[in-house]
């Protein structure tokens, strides 16, 4: 199984290299350090939110409310910064994560305490949280000149030559890789999704895990909420709409099983970067950006079908080997 | 996936509870039916509350022409809710319906721009909707992929193709007679055509579900697909039919909506999947499949429709209305779950008392 996963991630890496080579052939400055850094920077938010999505999908759930959570936390901290520019950035970031935690915990409570299927819960909260954005903002938006300089400049900053956006994405990836692979709770996330009933019998508190993954997804979306409004230097009522589909695409393209139980951080990283490259390539080779959503849908379907077929084949060959 | 998740746990409970449950089975069936009728009675009360509340809020609400005209705003969603019932009773879900509607509308817009007459537009609408719905069903049944995963993909794909074709412009050149479907009335009355069409389609759906073997098989699939298959039900074929019908309804809704707003714009029907699924679930259809009646869904259509109409009368913006719709969706699933839990606890206590 590990071999198969590894193979799938290598094949994705090969596909990425082929796409990059093809696009570079058409537009030579695609691979310039500046453009490549821009792609990574632009993918950072997707990476952070997709890791939250990964946790939820690993348990067999789905979180459709991530984009609305970004919209709400982003608007909240932007308004807060506008009201009092003196609040230190650390506090702003903490507040955005706490708001995200609250929204994510509400999802988690509905799923684990009231047994409402994740798809229904988050379809509902997708609309609820987005509605909250309008209520909060009164329909207005916060523009760049209404934000304080440290608030707006952080995503453009560098530390040790690395963009702050990229550093944060790497840091989050490392923290969650350590959580998933090295901690007992992390292994339980895989267990809970692989077979919920078996997990219950071996003593995994599935309800607790279900709550936890939504809460963590909320925290990551909250962090992304601040990064979004600061990076794009505006907090609009429709910030990040549709990003939930991109996070799901990043996961399934990265080989995460939509049925739960299998998937890796490396896969999600590659999946997010793949989507970022496709998005950037469309602009570079001058194809209408309207293609982005269609390609994303196509890529989601293709990845799901391929994953399913590969999984089946792997299972079948495992069974055969046992019989022989 | 989510829905299967809860189903497996549900399936697991009877076996772990053992034989006492089986002895009680006929009794439990009666109680469930009881619960269903109670749910519909609750919907009638809620509908009354909404009607009375709206009449108090606005003097323009309780007026036959106004009330009939208000149905224009929700008949397309109502028609989409009918086969969505079949899909959800089968234990599946389709969140791509609004994208299907949009892409179908784009196809009609292309044809209208090329000078196609009204009948051709209608045929294109119904055919395109059905094909897109069939494609969902094909991927789901052929590759045995959860419906939620496939329809998340087609939600993005269909909307994406629509926006590629549409770009940043809109189709507005629809022929005059085409306006009848979404704007017309039955001649010599004040009854909208859309309302009559919904009534007819609801009657057909009700008949199919409650009076034919097709309907019984749909419930059987939702209750337990494996048992259904071993009982000779062609499970995948019926699911494919349900998804195709769901696409057909999106096509019908697309004809009506495109005709009503006389244009195809990039944001046509965005977010409608929430309203459609909420209508079905609020109508008492179990999201885990196997349960629900046409009466519940019809009541739910008017309950939600009049509620949104009333909120519109007092100038509540659409996205704020969505807060209410989202909460209703969640509460509509939470309440039966809480009732079920209370009953389980009560019957366990009774069993314990009996020894």
Res A122: pLDDT: 92
Which of B5, B143, B155 is opposite residue A60, by nearest beta carbon?
B5
| Alpha-carbon separation of residue B215 from A98, B208, B209, B278 (angstroms) | 48, 5, 4, 22
Residue B160 to chain A, least CA–CA distance (Å): 4
Res B274: pLDDT: 83
pLDDT, tens only, B63-87? 888 888 888 989 999 999 999 999 9
Residue of A nearest to B338 (CA): A114
A142 falls in which pLDDT band (50, 70, 90)? Answer: confident
Show residues of chain B in contact with A210, CB under 8 Å.
none
Nearest CA to B247 among B218, B283, B220, B276?
A: B276
Task: Give burial (CB, 10 Å; 0-12/13-18/19+) of B47.
Answer: middle
| Alpha-carbon separation of residue A68 from A75, A163, B154, B274, B345 (angstroms) | 10, 26, 21, 14, 37
**pLDDT at residue B148 greater than cutoff 80:** yes
Show residues of chain B in contact with A135, CB under 8 Å.
320, 323
- Judged by a CB distance cut-off of 8 A, whether residue A131 touches chain B is yes
Which residues 28-67 of A are in CB contact (within 8 Å) with B? 60-62
pLDDT, tens only, B45-64? 889 988 888 888 888 777 88
Q: What is the mean pLDDT of residues A284-291?
A: 79
Q: How far apart are CA B118 and CA A30, in angstroms?
A: 48
Residue B1 to chain A, least CA–CA distance (Å): 5
* CB pair distance less than 8 Å for A245 and B155: yes
Phi-psi region of B229 (alpha: psi -120 to 50; beta: other; left: phi over 0): alpha
Q: How far apart are CA A215 and CA A220, in angstroms?
A: 9
Q: CB neighbours of B124 closer than 8 A, spacing ≥ 6?
A: B104, B107, B108, B111, B116
Res B205: pLDDT: 95
Residue B176 CA to chain centroid, in angstroms?
A: 30
What is the CATH code for A2-16+34-314? Answer: 1.10.3470
Mutate to test the interface with B, among A65, A294, A296 (most CBs of B within 10 A): A294
CB of A145 within 8 A of CB of A137? no
What does pLDDT average to over chain B?
85
* CB pair distance less than 8 Å for B148 and A131: no
Higher pLDDT residue, A315 or B106? B106
Q: How far apart are CA B262 and CA B268, in angstroms?
A: 11
Phi-psi region of B144 (alpha: psi -120 to 50; beta: other; left: phi over 0): left
**pLDDT at residue A117 greater than cutoff 60:** yes
Q: How many CA atoms lie within 13 A of B138 on its CB side?
A: 9
Q: What is the mean pLDDT of residues B182-208?
A: 92
Q: What is the mean pLDDT of residues B301-313?
A: 88
Res B105: pLDDT: 96
Residue of B nearest to A126 (CA): B326
Q: How many Cβ pairs within 8 Å bridge chains A and B?
A: 161
B318 falls in which pLDDT band (50, 70, 90)? Answer: confident
pLDDT, tens only, B209-225? 999 999 999 999 999 88
Q: What is the mean pLDDT of residues B88-110?
A: 94
Which of B153, B164, B338 is opposite residue A290, by nearest beta carbon?
B164
- Judged by a CB distance cut-off of 8 A, whether residue B154 touches chain A is yes
pTM of the model: 0.84
Residue of A nearest to B319 (CA): A131
* Cα dihedral B314, B319, B325, B330 sign: negative
Show residues of chain A in contact with B102, CB under 8 Å.
none
Q: What is the mean pLDDT of residues B112-120?
A: 91
**pLDDT at residue A209 greater than cutoff 50:** yes
A256 falls in which pLDDT band (50, 70, 90)? Answer: confident
Q: Worst-scoring range by mean pLDDT, A28-42, A276-290, B7-21?
A: B7-21
Share of chain A above pLDDT 70, in %: 97
SS3 of residue A235 by DSSP = strand
**pLDDT at residue B36 greater than cutoff 80:** no
Residue of B nearest to A198 (CA): B9
**pLDDT at residue A97 greater than cutoff 50:** yes
Kindly list the domain boundaries of chain A, sorted by start residue.
2-16+34-314
> Which tokens is A120 given?
């229904």
Residue B7 CA to chain centroid, in angstroms?
A: 20
* Cα dihedral A261, A264, A270, A272 sign: positive
CB atoms within 10 A of CB B300: 27
B6 falls in which pLDDT band (50, 70, 90)? Answer: very low
Show residues of chain A in contact with B161, CB under 8 Å.
294, 297
- Judged by a CB distance cut-off of 8 A, whether residue B23 touches chain A is no
**pLDDT at residue B128 greater than cutoff 50:** yes
Q: How many CA atoms lie within 13 A of B269 on its CB side?
A: 38
Q: How far apart are CA B76 and CA B252, in angstroms?
A: 8
Q: How far apart are CA A227 and CA B237, in angstroms?
A: 47
Q: What is the mean pLDDT of residues B132-158?
A: 92
pLDDT, tens only, A144-190? 788 887 888 788 878 888 888 898 999 999 999 999 999 888 888 88
Q: How far apart are CA A106 and CA A221, in angstroms?
A: 14
**pLDDT at residue B4 greater than cutoff 50:** no
Mutate to test the interface with A, among B164, B167, B280 (most CBs of A within 10 A): B164
Residue of B nearest to A136 (CA): B320
Residue A266 to chain B, least CA–CA distance (Å): 21
**pLDDT at residue A110 greater than cutoff 90:** yes
Nearest CA to A170 among A48, A29, A35?
A: A48
B15 falls in which pLDDT band (50, 70, 90)? Answer: very low
Which of B146, B163, B322 is opposite residue A127, by nearest beta carbon?
B322
**pLDDT at residue A309 greater than cutoff 90:** no
Q: What is the mean pLDDT of residues B116-145?
A: 94
B20 falls in which pLDDT band (50, 70, 90)? Answer: very low
Show residues of chain A in contact with B5, CB under 8 Å.
60-61, 117, 196
pLDDT, tens only, A11-35? 778 888 888 888 888 777 787 888 8
Q: What is the mean pLDDT of residues A275-301?
A: 82
Res A11: pLDDT: 76
Res B16: pLDDT: 39
Q: What is the mean pLDDT of residues A111-125?
A: 89
Res B18: pLDDT: 39
pLDDT, tens only, B156-176? 999 999 999 998 888 988 988
Res A4: pLDDT: 53
* CB pair distance less than 8 Å for B334 and A114: yes
Residue A69 to chain B, least CA–CA distance (Å): 14
């Amino acid at each position: 199984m590990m071999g198969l996963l590894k193979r799938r991630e290598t094949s994705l890496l090969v596909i990425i290299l082929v796409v990059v080579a093809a696009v570079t052939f058409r537009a030579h400055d695609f691979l310039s350090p500046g453009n490549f850094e821009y792609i990574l920077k632009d993918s950072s938010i997707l990476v952070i939110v997709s890791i939250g999505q990964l946790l939820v999908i690993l348990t067999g759930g789905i979180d459709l409310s991530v984009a609305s959570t970004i919209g709400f936390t982003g608007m909240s901290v932007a308004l807060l910064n506008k009201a009092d520019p003196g609040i230190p950035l650390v506090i702003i970031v903490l507040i955005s994560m706490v708001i995200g935690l609250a929204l994510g915990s509400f999802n988690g409570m509905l799923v684990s305490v009231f047994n409402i299927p994740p798809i229904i819960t988050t379809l509902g909260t997708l609309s609820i949280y987005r509605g909250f954005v309008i209520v909060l903002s009164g329909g207005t938006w916060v523009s760049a000149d209404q934000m304080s300089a440290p608030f707006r400049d952080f995503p453009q900053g560098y530390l040790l030559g690395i963009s702050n956006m990229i550093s944060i994405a790497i840091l989050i990836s490392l923290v969650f890789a350590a959580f998933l692979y090295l901690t007992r709770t992390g292994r339980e996330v895989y267990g809970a999704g692989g077979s919920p009933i078996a997990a219950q019998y071996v003593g995994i508190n599935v309800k607790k895990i279900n709550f936890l993954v939504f809460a963590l997804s909320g925290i990551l979306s909250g962090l992304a909420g601040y990064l979004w409004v600061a990076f794009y230097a505006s907090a609009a009522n429709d910030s990040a709409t549709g990003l939930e589909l991109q996070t799901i695409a990043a996961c399934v393209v990265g080989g995460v099983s939509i049925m739960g139980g299998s998937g890796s951080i490396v896969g999600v990283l590659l999946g997010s970067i793949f989507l970022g490259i496709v998005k950037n390539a469309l602009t570079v080779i001058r194809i209408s950006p309207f293609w982005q959503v269609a390609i994303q849908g196509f890529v989601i379907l293709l990845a799901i079908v391929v994953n399913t077929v590969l999984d089946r084949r792997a299972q079948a060959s495992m069974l055969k080997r046992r019989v022989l | 996936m989510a829905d299967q998740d809860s189903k497996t746990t549900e399936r697991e409970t009877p076996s772990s509870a053992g034989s006492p449950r089986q002895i009680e089975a006929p009794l439990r069936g009666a109680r469930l039916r009881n619960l269903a009728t109670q749910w519909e009675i609750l919907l009638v009360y809620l509908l009354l509350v909404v009607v009375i509340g709206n009449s108090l809020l606005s003097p323009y609400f309780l007026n036959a022409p106004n009330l009939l005209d208000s149905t224009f705003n929700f008949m397309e969603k109502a028609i989409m809710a009918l086969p969505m019932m079949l899909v959800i009773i089968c234990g599946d879900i389709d969140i791509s319906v609004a994208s299907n509607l949009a892409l179908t509308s784009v196809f009609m817009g292309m044809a209208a721009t090329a000078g196609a007459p009204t009948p051709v537009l209608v045929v294109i609408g119904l055919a395109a909707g059905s094909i897109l719905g069939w494609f969902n069903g094909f991927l789901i049944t052929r590759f045995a992929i959860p419906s939620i995963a496939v329809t998340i993909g087609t939600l993005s794909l269909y909307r994406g193709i629509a926006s590629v074709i549409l770009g940043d412009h809109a189709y507005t050149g629809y022929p005059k007679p085409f306006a009848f479907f979404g704007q017309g009335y039955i001649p010599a009355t004040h009854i909208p055509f859309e309302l009559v069409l919904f009534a007819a389609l609801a009657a057909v759906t009700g008949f199919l579900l409650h009076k034919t073997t097709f309907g019984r098989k749909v419930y059987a699939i939702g209750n337990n697909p494996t048992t259904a298959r071993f009982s000779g039900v062609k499970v995948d074929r019926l699911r494919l039919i349900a998804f195709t019908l769901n696409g057909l309804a999106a096509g019908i809704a697309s004809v009506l909506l495109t005709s009503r707003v006389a244009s195809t714009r990039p944001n046509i029907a965005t977010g409608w999947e929430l309203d459609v699924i909420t209508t079905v679930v609020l109508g008492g259809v179990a999201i885990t499949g196997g349960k629900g009646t046409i009466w519940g869904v019809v009541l739910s259509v008017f309950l939600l429709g009049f509620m949104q109409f009333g909120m519109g009368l007092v100038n509540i913006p659409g996205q704020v209305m969505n807060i209410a719709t989202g909460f209703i969706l969640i509460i509509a699933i939470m309440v039966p779950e809480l009732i079920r839990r209370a009953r389980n606890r009560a019957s366990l206590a009774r069993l314990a008392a009996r020894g």
